[in-house]
Amino acid sequence: MTHDLVAALRPLLTAEASAEAHASGGEPGDLEQAVWLRLLERLETGRPPVDPEGWLRRAVRAEARRSRRTRRHERPYGAEPVDEGRPDPEQLALSAARHRALRDAVRRLPGRCPRLMEALLSPRDLTYREIAGELGISQGSLGPERSRCLGCLRRLLTPEVAAR
């Protein structure tokens, strides 16, 4: 019976919702959903409408009025609250985990590599001359040393990245 009622009322509801939605400034689909919900609530409580077509027209108009009232009281945001340009907590946690993994891998590097990589990753943004002076090596050997250390770091991180 419910399926027959829905099938019989669908064209009427579509037409009524289209007519009322535009006048209320809403979407016809939203209005249709609200009316279907009201009908299901009535059917679940054992109170099917006696005059389904008349009930449907009244329900569509009532939902359109409710939608207009709601729309009048709503105030749009000036800007979306999440559009503040700051990373959300999930992004912060993931970024912190990546930094920890990188720092752990750097500490496991052989020889002078941990000190070199720490200097390269330093927030002080050191120049090659400053790094060479800090490590006590020539500036010319810094490039090849860096390349070798990055290769070691890449090999250390590859299994971790692939495992994830």
Residues 102, 154 contacting (CB under 8 angstroms):
no
> pLDDT at position 151, please?
92
Query: Looking at domain 92-163, does it have CATH number 1.10.569.10?
Result: no
> pLDDT at position 6, please?
82
Q: Each residue of 136-162: pLDDT tens digit?
A: 989 888 989 999 999 999 988 887 666
- Exposure string over 19-39, b if 16+ CB within 10 A, otherwise e: ebbeebebebeebbebbbebb
> pLDDT at position 24, please?
74
Report whether pLDDT(128) > 60. Answer: yes
- Cβ burial of 58 (10 Å; 0-12, 13-18, 19+) is middle
pLDDT band at 57 (very low <50, low <70, confident <90, very high): very high
Which residue intervals of the chain bear CATH 1.10.10.10?
92-163
Q: Each residue of 68-85: pLDDT tens digit?
A: 888 878 777 666 665 567
- Cβ burial of 137 (10 Å; 0-12, 13-18, 19+) is middle
> pLDDT at position 122, please?
87
In whole angstroms, give the CA distance from residue 22 to residue 29.
11
Closest listed residue to residue 8, CA positions, set 45, 47, 53, 59: 53
